[in-house]
């Protein structure tokens, strides 16, 4: 904790030294955001030495973690104690602070909600330069409740205390195939409501859409022993195995990071799924953060756009989003998405929030399905960048859903504040950032300033 206090003092001094008129930006080693900016007005805010696990308490089943700590490092610290966070987002380099102030989800979310729902305490550097400790039962309760989905516009998480849950060494996977989206959503709803399948308890639930007549629900169950374990960190590719196996076994660590090696399926854009390329590529490079850096470089230098123009291919639009709709509207969304966008595969992850959180107003107790889709699609002739993303935004809210704000958004200002509860946001913003040193949520997530 003494090292943590020194790191807190260092970031406070760094924040105080930023000139007025410059928007602070955290200097992070990795990012999982897909809002690209030139950073002309940005001032880099040093978060040096805020990336450690402070303590794991195996008796209380809690962890004290600095805000820039990645889930990869946290899991490495908790698994030796037979523990894991309640929700471990899919990618290794998602940070605790990023998941709490943004959005994180995984296959335990049908039971355990979102990452912020297992947070007990937040130490936050606020917009007005204070360091406060916020809990659900103290004088900073409103900040604690509004922090999720605030994306660094109310302050930065310096320290987080979260609850942990017991694990077993292995996870047994069962892949259930469906040929109809409505039946798939009905089955997902029933499994999540009962917490079991075929009379056995279920610990993890997610799914994959490959085509309107090819969908899978993947169920995971903790196990003490395994007859074998599969390895998807080398030549074999996890998402492809879903189509060819009904039963599989993984170590708990490999299960938690099953999606990271190929960034779900997005590694195919870099040729990494070609057997020859894969055999030559070091395993340490097959990670989501490496692919994310490649996307950033391509965006900066426009390599793909130039190749498309030279080869006469149509202009493409990036469609990189996670959205949630109620499970009973899930099949409707898939039908719309396949017809209007046509990108496959699509990740499907059920979630249920135990209570309402002001800035991401999901109905408590109601089962939603997160659909994640990440790639590029050709623009129809005469249409401009944002065409598909705007269609998705409109459809999601027509289906009583919500969209995560980690990527591009196009909402008009009034609609945005209606959907993301400006009435709750602005009183907290004025209380903890009265001078507006930090961007507000609309400017950061829609205007991209």
For 384-438, what is each residue's pLDDT tens digit? Answer: 989 999 999 999 999 999 999 988 899 999 999 999 999 999 999 999 999 999 9
Region 2-167+426-447: CATH code: 3.30.465.10
Residue spans of the domains in the chain: they are: 2-167+426-447, 170-258, 302-410
Q: Given the structure tokens 């360091």, which residue do they identify? A: 131
Q: What is the pLDDT of residues 205-225, one digit of tens each?
A: 999 999 999 999 999 999 999
Between CA 403 and CA 413 the distance in angstroms is: 15
The tokens describing 252, both together, are 């708990």
Give the per-residue pLDDT at 308.
64
- In this prediction, residues 85-92 reach a mean pLDDT of 95
pLDDT band for position 256 (50/70/90)?
Answer: very high
- What is the total residue count of the chain? 449
pTM over the 0.85 mark: yes
Q: Distances in Å between the alpha carbon of 363 and those of 36, 91, 360, 371, 419?
A: 31, 26, 9, 17, 13
Between CA 290 and CA 263 the distance in angstroms is: 10
CB 46 within 8 A of CB 68: no
Whole-number mean pLDDT of the chain?
A: 92
Q: Where are the beta strands (DSSP E) in 224-362?
A: 247-251, 316-326, 346-352
Spatial CA neighbour of 390 closest among 345, 340, 342, 343 = 340
Cβ neighbour number for residue 149 with a 10 Å cutoff? 25
Q: What is the pLDDT of residues 298-345, one digit of tens each?
A: 777 766 666 666 766 778 899 999 999 999 999 999 999 999 999 999
CB 416 within 8 A of CB 442: yes
Q: What is the pLDDT of residues 214-255, one digit of tens each?
A: 999 999 999 999 999 999 999 999 999 999 999 999 999 999
Convert 389-418 to b/e letters by CB count within 10 Å (16 or more is b). beebbebbbebebbbbbbbbbebeeeebbe
Angular region, 350: left φ>0, alpha ψ -120 to 50, beta rest: beta
Between CA 445 and CA 103 the distance in angstroms is: 13
Higher pLDDT, 41 or 58: 58
Q: What is the pLDDT of residues 120-164, one digit of tens each?
A: 999 999 999 999 999 999 999 999 999 999 999 999 999 999 999
Q: Is 175 helix (H, G, I), strand (E, B) or coil?
A: strand
pLDDT over 90 (residue 1): no
pLDDT band for position 179 (50/70/90)?
Answer: very high
CB within 8 Å of 410: residues ≥ 6 apart: 386, 389, 390, 393, 446
CA angle 315, 375, 415 (to 5 degrees): 85
Between CA 310 and CA 190 the distance in angstroms is: 51
Between CA 25 and CA 44 the distance in angstroms is: 5
Give the per-residue pLDDT at 29.
64
Q: What is the pLDDT of residues 94-128, one digit of tens each?
A: 999 999 999 889 999 999 999 999 999 999 999 99
Its CATH class, for the domain covering 302-410, is alpha beta
């Amino acid at each position: 904790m003494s090292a943590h206090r020194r790191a807190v003092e260092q970031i406070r001094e760094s924040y105080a030294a930023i000139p007025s008129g410059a928007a602070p930006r955290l200097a992070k080693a990795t990012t999982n955001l897909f809002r690209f900016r030139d950073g002309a007005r940005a001032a880099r805010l040093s978060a040096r030495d805020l990336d450690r696990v402070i303590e794991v308490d195996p008796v209380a089943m809690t962890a004290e973690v600095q805000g820039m700590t990645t889930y990869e490092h946290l899991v490495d610290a908790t698994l030796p104690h037979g523990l894991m966070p309640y929700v471990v987002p899919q990618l290794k380099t998602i940070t605790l602070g990023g998941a709490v102030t943004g959005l994180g989800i995984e296959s335990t979310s049908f039971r355990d909600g979102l990452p912020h729902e297992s947070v007990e305490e937040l130490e936050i550097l606020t917009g007005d330069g204070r360091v406060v400790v916020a809990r659900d039962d103290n004088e900073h309760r409103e900040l604690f409740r509004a922090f999720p989905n605030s994306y660094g516009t109310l302050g930065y998480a310096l320290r987080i205390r979260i609850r942990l849950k017991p694990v077993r060494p292995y996870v047994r996977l069962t892949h259930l195939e469906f040929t109809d989206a409505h039946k798939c959503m009905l089955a997902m709803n029933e499994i999540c409501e009962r917490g079991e399948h075929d009379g056995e308890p279920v610990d993890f639930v997610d799914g994959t859409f490959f085509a309107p007549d090819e969908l899978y629900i993947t169920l995971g169950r903790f196990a003490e022993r395994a007859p074998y374990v599969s390895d998807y960190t080398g030549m074999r590719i996890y998402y492809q195995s879903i189509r060819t196996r009904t039963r599989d076994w993984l170590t708990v660590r490999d299960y938690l990071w099953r999606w990271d090696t190929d960034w779900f399926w997005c590694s195919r854009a870099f040729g990494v799924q070609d057997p020859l390329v894969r055999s030559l590529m070091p395993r340490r490079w097959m990670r989501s953060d490496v692919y994310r850096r490649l996307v950033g470089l391509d965006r900066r230098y426009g390599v793909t756009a130039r190749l498309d123009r030279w080869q006469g291919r149509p202009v493409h639009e990036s469609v990189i989003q996670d959205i949630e709709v109620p499970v009973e509207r899930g099949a409707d969304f898939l039908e719309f998405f396949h017809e209007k966008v046509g990108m496959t595969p699509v990740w499907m992850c059920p979630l249920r929030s135990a209570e309402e959180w002001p800035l991401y107003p999901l109905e408590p107790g109601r089962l939603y399905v997160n659909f994640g889709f990440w790639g590029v699609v050709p623009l129809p002739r005469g249409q401009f960048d944002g065409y598909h993303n705007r269609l998705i935004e409109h459809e999601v809210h027509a289906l009583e859903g919500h969209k995560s704000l980690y990527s591009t958004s196009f909402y008009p200002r009034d609609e945005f504040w209606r959907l993301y509860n400006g009435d709750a946001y602005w009183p907290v913003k004025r209380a903890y950032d009265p001078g507006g040193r930090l961007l507000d949520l609309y400017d950061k997530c829609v205007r991209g300033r």
